[in-house]
Amino acid sequence: MKRFAAALAAVLMLTACTQVEENIPVMAETSAVTEDTDASVDVTTAVSSEIVSEEITSETELETSEAVSESETTAAEEVQTEAPAAAENSAEETSAAETTTTEAVYEDAQAESTGTVTGIELTFYDVTLSQGEHKMPIVTMSPESAPDKSEIWTSSDESIAKVDGLGNITAVGEGTCVVTVASAASPNVTAKVNVTVKAAPGLTYIGGILIANKTYALPADYNPGVDPEAQAAFDDMQAAATKEGLNIYVSSGFRSYEYQSGLYDRYVQRSGKAEADRYSARPGHSEHQTGLAFDMNTIDISFADTDEYVWVKAHCWEYGFIIRYPEDGEDVTGYMYEPWHIRYLGKETAKKVYDSGLTLEEYLGIDSKYSE
Ligand SMILES: [Zn+2]
């Protein structure tokens, strides 16, 4: 097959025009024909070229892609009956559309022979995000037949935007940078996304981490709901705990400004303001309003004595969480010990904070105190 395709390509190249347009649909169709009729591939390649030229001669008003698309159906149907001599016909008739097709056949044969990726397409090449937002382009590597379509993602400035191995871009800090995806098999084949990150009004990011504590408040209208990435991370952690025979679940996740306002008022009535401030955040200051915090199981100090807590304390960083208000941390976090409250930071940051043995405030060098 490869030998034949190369020979065909050589013949076609003799008459091929040097002006070549990129035409992805044609490439895709040609490739599909070749793959679909695996058993009689030698015939197929020739037939598809011949049919394309017939279509173009008889129905010149058709757009290239339509002609090729129609011819693909015909080719697939007629593969068993057409003779392979057709390749010569094709070489005799030259038109712009045909040139594109023959060139596509040639490129496909060439790519197949080396097994490399020759092009990368993305669903977007420019994006503007607010801090904390994520967006992931869909990647199409060509040719379809390339055996290794692994992606390598990099950011020109991780303080502006980070990107993970799947191409999920996270806006970190204000500015612009370039996120690049390269083919692992052909590292010189790349596509780039120009990323602009704008400040999220009223939100405080420190080191790319959204902060909500007694010093830094969230706007009353900040209402993101539970963060999908944090929820997925919790689900993973929960599944792992289940395998250990442990039962962890969310008792309280995202809380809106209004909800927190009602909650805090109730606690103030019950305990008085000074005491309520030790365990309940004032509206706008609750980490639950970020959508990145969860309370687990029994919201009570007795949770610290459970096997579930022992496991979570040892493993939550593996899923991107930290125990946010540890024992003896009240002076720096502003809150008494809350073994049940975890905060999502992402795996990389959570590991760093866990390894440091510090609270998030100490890790970032910030404080947590109401101004009044
Ligand atoms: Zn909580």
pLDDT value at residue 284: 97
**Is 182 in the same domain as 317?**
no
Measured in Å, residue 283 CA sits from the centre of ligand 1 at 13
Inside any domain, residue 310? yes
- Whether 101 is in a domain gets the answer yes
Task: Label residue 212 by pLDDT band (50, 70, 90).
Answer: very high
Residues 323 and 257 in one domain: yes
369 belongs to a structural domain: no
100 within some domain: yes
Find the CATH number of the domain harbouring 194. Answer: 2.60.40.1080
Q: Is residue 107 within 8 Å of residue 27, measured between CB atoms?
A: yes
User: Domain with 243 in it: what CATH number?
Assistant: 3.30.1380.10
* Cα radius of gyration rounded to whole Å, the chain: 30
Rounded-to-10 torsion of CA 366, 343, 209, 205: -70
- Which tokens is 350 given? 């959570």
**pLDDT per position as a tens digit, 13-23:** 443 333 433 33
Mean pLDDT of 255-280: 96
How many angstroms does the Cα of residue 339 sit away from the middle of ligand 1? 9
Q: Are residues 252 and 334 in the same domain?
A: yes
The CA distance from 316 to 334, in Å, is 22
Summarize pLDDT for 139-165 with one digit per residue, the tens: 999 999 999 999 999 999 998 999 999
Residues of the chain above pLDDT 90, percent: 64
Question: Quick one: residue 315, left, alpha or beta (phi over 0 = left, psi -120 to 50 = alpha)?
Answer: alpha
Residues in CB range of 16: below 8 A, 6 or more apart = 94, 99, 102, 103, 106
Model confidence at 79: pLDDT above 50: no
How far is residue 351's CA from residue 321's CA, in Å, rounded to a whole number? 8
Task: Using the mean position of ligand 1's atoms as its centre, give its distance from the Cα of residue 147 in Å.
Answer: 48
What pLDDT is stored for residue 159 in this prediction? 87
Q: Are residues 315 and 271 both part of a single domain?
A: yes
pLDDT on residue 208 = 84
Q: Which residue, of 87, 114, 141, is where some domain finishes?
A: 114
The whole-angstrom distance between residue 189's C-alpha and the CA centroid of its chain comes to: 20
Based on the fold, state whether residues 211 and 298 are members of the same structural domain: yes
Same domain, 174 and 293: no
Domain boundary among 156, 177, 198: 198
110 and 123: one domain? Answer: no
Residues 45 and 58 in one domain: yes
Which pLDDT belongs to residue 113? 52
- Answer yes or no: is 371 within a domain: no
Residues classed as catalytic: 338
> What pLDDT is recorded for position 131?
87
Instruction: Average the pLDDT over 33-46 and give the result.
Output: 39
Domain shared by 265 and 338, yes or no: yes
Give the pLDDT score at 9: 42
Question: Vertex 350, ends 233 and 254: CA angle to 5°?
Answer: 50
Is the pLDDT at 288 greater than 60? The verdict is yes
Greater confidence (355 vs 110) lies with 355
Query: Is the model's pLDDT at 339 over the cut of 70?
Result: yes
Torsion over CA of 69, 74, 75 and 79, rounded to 10 degrees? 160
In a domain, 311, yes or no: yes
The answer to whether residue 372 is domain-embedded is no
Query: In the prediction, which pLDDT does 207 show?
Result: 84
Q: Label residue 114 by pLDDT band (50, 70, 90).
A: low
Q: Is 70 exceeded by the pLDDT of residue 307?
A: yes
Inform me whether the pLDDT recorded for 135 exceeds 70.
yes
Nearest to 341 by CA among 361, 360, 321: 321
What pLDDT score does 31 carry?
39
Does residue 151 sit in the same domain as residue 239? no
Q: What is the residue-averaged pLDDT of the chain? A: 79
Tell how far the Cα of 293 is from the centroid of ligand 1, in angstroms.
Answer: 7
- How far apart are the CA of 132 and the centre of ligand 1, in A? 21
Q: Note whether residue 304 is domain-resident.
A: yes
Domain boundary, last residue among 70, 92, 114: 114
Based on the domain organization, do 64 and 129 belong to the same domain? no
**Do you find a cis peptide bond into 143, omega within 30 degrees of 0?**
yes
Residue 247 has pLDDT above 70, yes or no: yes
- Let me know: does 189 contact 215? Beta carbons within 8 Å: no
**Among the ranges given (14-18, 172-176, 328-332, 343-347), the one the predictor scored with the smallest mean pLDDT:** 14-18
pLDDT at residue 45, as a whole number: 39
Looking at the fold, whether 283 and 232 belong to one and the same domain comes out as yes
- The domain total for the chain is 3
pLDDT digits (tens, 9 = 90+) for 341-369: 999 999 999 999 999 999 999 999 999 99
Q: What's the 254 CA to ligand 1 centre distance in angstroms?
A: 9
Q: Which residue range forms the structural domain that includes residue 273?
A: 205-364
